[in-house]
Amino acid sequence: LDKLEQRFSMAQWSDANKLHYISIHLLEDAYRWWMQTSSTINTWSSFTNAVTRAFGSTRAQELAFEQLKWYKQTINQSITQYYD
């Protein structure tokens, strides 16, 4: 979304143009989500808020992955606790 917002800002696109553009580029789950919610979204801001609520932010996913990647079993932690 950040890259799109930069491009849209440079091109000075209206919310209607942004929403039209994004609607033809969404795939699979995102496209199905859009088909169900598009009638309630009429601004770019409402789209970005709704899509982040529905799918989470990329940054949050990256953070969760980093935490998982560096997670280590502690001395007093059982194997079951470690994998739960």
| Mean pLDDT of the residues in the chain | 84
**C-alpha span between 41 and 26 (Å, rounded):** 15
Cα dihedral across residues 11, 43, 47, 16: positive or negative:
negative
Does residue 51 surpass a pLDDT of 80?
yes
pLDDT digits (tens, 9 = 90+) for 17-38: 999 998 888 999 899 999 999 9
Does residue 12 surpass a pLDDT of 90?
yes
Domain boundaries along the sequence of the chain: 2-83
> Which one is predicted more confidently, 14 or 69?
14
pLDDT digits (tens, 9 = 90+) for 53-82: 888 766 656 666 677 777 777 888 787 877
